[in-house]
Amino acid sequence: MCFSPDGRYLTLWTRPLLLDRESGVWLENVLVYDVESQAVLTKWSNKQQGGWQPQFTQDGSVMAKNFNNREIHFYELSAALDIRKPSYKFRLQDSGATFQNFRLSPGLNPSVAVFIPEKGGKPAEVLIYNIPNFNQPVCSKLFFKAEKCQLQWNALGTALLALASTDHDSSNKSYYGETNLYLLGIAGSYERIDLKREGPIHDITWSPSAREFAVSYGYMPSETTFFDARGNLIFSLPTSPRNTILYSPHGRYVLVAGFGNLQGTVDVYDRQNKFAKVCTFEASNTSVCEWSPCGRYILTATTSPRLRVDNGLKVWYADGTLLYYREYPELFSIAWKPQPISKFPALKLLEPCPPAHQSATEYLAKKAALSGTSTVKKVGAYRPPHARNSGASTALTSLYQKELQSNLGPKPAGAYVPGRRVVPGAQPVEPKESKSAAKNKKKREGKNADEASPTPELPAVAQAQDQGSVVGGVVSMEEKKIRALLKKLRAIEALKMRQAGGEQLEETQINKINKEDEIRQELGFLGWSE
C-alpha cells in the first residue's frame, strides 16, 4: 500500500494469481484508486512484491511505473487514463543494459534519477534526466562497488543522495558488505561523503528544509551525524545502538531509533534547540514508524510478514506518551494519509500532551501487571526426568558413578576375576616394568631414604608452608592465600640478599621489597605467625 505525495491516489498490491496457464494471463493485482471517488483509476499485473510501487510527482499530475527494468512509462493522470498508452517513455540508450530502480524528484520541475548496476566489468552509474527531455542526462556519476543503490531526493529536487552498497566486502572487513554515500546535484556536481567511522551505513534522510541531511553509520553502537547540503559536518550525536532517522514534517524534531534486530529504543531530539533530547521510549518489534502530517504524533506498528505475532499499531505523542493502541490478528501495511503541510502551523513549543485513549491505558495496565507478577525461577543443577520432584540427589545416580563403584568395590566370594593367560608347565613370568614405573619406583626409594635420615631444621618461612593442610588433604582458600603470600615473602628475602651483596635492583624489584610489611600484615590477618 502506498499513497501519492498529495494523498489523492492510493495504490494497492495483492497476491498475483495465474488465471490461465496456457495463455499465461495473470490477474491485474496492482490497483490505483482515486481516494475521493473511491474508483479504480487503472490496474495492471506485477508478480514481484518488491519495486511494484508506481511513483507520482509532487502535485499528483504524473505517474511513472517501471516496465521490465528497461523502460519507465509516464502517464498524465486523468479519468481517461489508459495504462497501455503512456504519455511518454524513458528508454536506456544501451539496449543491452537494464536499470535496477529509479526515483522521481519533488518540486515544480521534476527530474528522474536512474541507477544502473555494474555488470561485466562496467562500473555502476547514476543518471539524472529532466522530464520529459531524455536525450541527455543533466548529471551522471560512475562508481564501482555498487550492486544496489538507494536514491533519495531533497524536498526541492535539487540534490540527490545515492547510497551504493555491495553484498560482499572485498577486504573481508565487514559481514554486511561495503557501503558508500554520494551527493549529486542537478547542476552536474557530485561529491563522496567521507564518514569518520568504519562499518555499514544504516540509514540516510533529508531534512524537510532541504538544507541538511543525516546519516546513521558504523558498527554498533552506531553514530548519527548531520551534514549541510554541501556535505560539511554540522553535528554528531553520541554513539548508541540506532539505525533509523526520521525528521518531523516541519523539521523541528528528529527521531533516532533502533529497530529490526535492535531493542526498539526511540529518542526524539529538538533540532532547533541544539539537539536537546525531548524524550526516550521503547517501541519493540516495530516494522513501521512514521511522523504524523502535523508533526505532533508518532505512529509505530508491527506488521506481517515481518512479524506474524503481536501485530498492531501504537500512536505516541512527541513527548513519548502512549496515546492509542490497537491489536490486529494480521496487519500487512499502515501509513498516515499525506496532507499539505500548510494545514498545520509550525510548532514553537510542544503543546501539553492530550489525554490518552482508554486502549492505551488498558494496555499499559496489563503490561505493568504482567511485569509485576512475573517471577524469575531460580535455576539449579540439572536433574534428569526420573530424578525430578523426588528430592533425591543425583550425585551418585549417573551410569558413570555406578560403574565406578562396581569396579572399585570388593569382589564377592566365588566371583570370576579375569587373569593373565600363561603357557601350561612354564615358569611364571614377572611383568616387566615400564620406564615411567621404574622412574617412579626410584623416586619412592630415594624419598624413603630421606625420611630415614634426620631432617635439618628449616627456617620459619619454609616450615609454615606445610602447617596449613586440613583433614582429608584438601587445602582451604585461606591456606592457598597464605601459600601465595609466603611465596612472595621468599622472593622478597632473595631480593634483599641480592641488594645486600651490592647488586643494583630495578625499580619494580625495589617496589616488591617495600611491600614486605604489607604482606606480613595480611598474613597476620589470615592467622599465620612466624
Looking at the DSSP bridge assignments, the partners of residue 192 are 182
- Locate 30 and state its grid cell: 496492482
- Locate 407 and state its grid cell: 569396579
Closest CA to 248 of 344, 323, 182: 344
Task: Report the range of poorest mean pLDDT among 52-56, 114-118, 406-410, 488-492.
Answer: 406-410
Q: Tell me: the pLDDT tens digits for 444-474?
A: 766 665 555 444 443 444 444 444 444 444 4
Q: Where are the beta strands (DSSP E) in 38-117?
A: 39-44, 55-56, 62-67, 71-76, 88-91, 101-104, 111-116
Q: Tell me: the pLDDT tens digits for 57-88?
A: 888 888 898 888 888 899 888 777 778 888 88
Residue 269 to residue 235: CA distance in whole angstroms: 13
Domain boundary residue among 39, 74, 91?
Answer: 91
Burial of 159 by CB count in 10 Å (0-12 exposed, 13-18 middle, 19+ buried)? buried
- Locate 23 and state its grid cell: 495463455
Q: Tell me: the pLDDT tens digits for 479-492?
A: 788 888 888 989 99
Q: In what order do the strands lie in the sheet with 124-130?
A: 101-104, 111-116, 124-130, 139-143
Q: In what order do the strands lie in the sheet with 276-282?
A: 244-247, 253-257, 265-270, 276-282
In a domain, 503, yes or no: yes
Average pLDDT over residues 320-343: 91
Q: Tell me: the pLDDT tens digits for 282-330?
A: 998 899 999 999 999 999 999 988 888 889 999 999 999 999 999 999 9
pLDDT: which is higher, 230 or 530:
230
**Is the pLDDT confidence value at 432 over 50?**
yes
In a domain, 344, yes or no: no
Q: What is the predicted pLDDT for the residue at 93?
A: 78
Burial of 369 by CB count in 10 Å (0-12 exposed, 13-18 middle, 19+ buried)? exposed
pLDDT: which is higher, 438 or 223:
223
Task: Report the range of poorest mean pLDDT among 179-188, 220-229, 296-305.
Answer: 179-188
In a domain, 327, yes or no: no
Q: How are beta strands 201-206 and 265-270 bridged, if at all?
A: unpaired
Instruction: Provide the 8-state DSSP code for 396.
Output: T
Q: Which amino acid, 376? A: V
299 contact partners, CB below 8 Å, separation of at least 6: 288, 289, 290, 291, 292, 313, 314, 315, 316, 334, 336
Residue 285 to residue 287: CA distance in whole angstroms: 6
> In angstroms, what CA-CA distances link 401 with 390, 392, 396, 397, 407?
19, 15, 6, 7, 10
In a domain, 281, yes or no: no
In a domain, 61, yes or no: yes
**Is the pLDDT confidence value at 375 over 60?**
no
- Locate 260 and state its grid cell: 529490526
Residue 490 to residue 509: CA distance in whole angstroms: 13
Q: What is the predicted pLDDT for the residue at 410?
A: 58
**Is the pLDDT confidence value at 182 over 60?**
yes
Domain boundary residue among 91, 123, 143?
Answer: 91
Domain boundary residue among 91, 116, 141?
Answer: 91
Q: Are 240 and 222 within 8 A, CB to CB?
A: yes
Please state, rounded to an integer, the average pLDDT across all residues of the chain. 81
In a domain, 19, yes or no: yes
Q: What is the predicted pLDDT for the residue at 289?
A: 94
Taking the mean position of all CA atoms in its chain, how far away is CA 131?
A: 40
In a domain, 21, yes or no: yes
Task: Count the domains in the chain.
Answer: 2
- Locate 230 and state its grid cell: 554541501
In a domain, 334, yes or no: no
Q: Tell me: the pLDDT tens digits for 384-423?
A: 666 666 555 444 445 555 555 655 555 555 555 555 555 6
Task: Report the range of poorest mean pLDDT among 283-292, 426-435, 513-522.
Answer: 426-435
Average pLDDT over residues 122-133: 87
Q: Are 268 and 254 within 8 A, CB to CB?
A: yes
- Locate 340 and state its grid cell: 499539505
**Is the pLDDT confidence value at 124 over 80?**
yes
Identify the domain containing residue 504 by its residue range: 463-530
- Locate 18 and state its grid cell: 495465474
**Is the pLDDT confidence value at 254 over 90?**
yes
- Locate 13 and state its grid cell: 498490491
**Is the pLDDT confidence value at 206 over 90?**
yes
Q: Are 52 and 13 within 8 A, CB to CB?
A: yes
Q: Is the dihedral of CA 382, 385, 388, 389 positive or negative?
A: positive
**Is the pLDDT confidence value at 374 over 50?**
no
The SS3 assignment for 104 reads strand
Percentage above 70 pLDDT, the chain: 79
Q: Are 69 and 37 within 8 A, CB to CB?
A: no
CA-CA-CA-CA dihedral for 307, 308, 309, 311, to nearest 10: 80
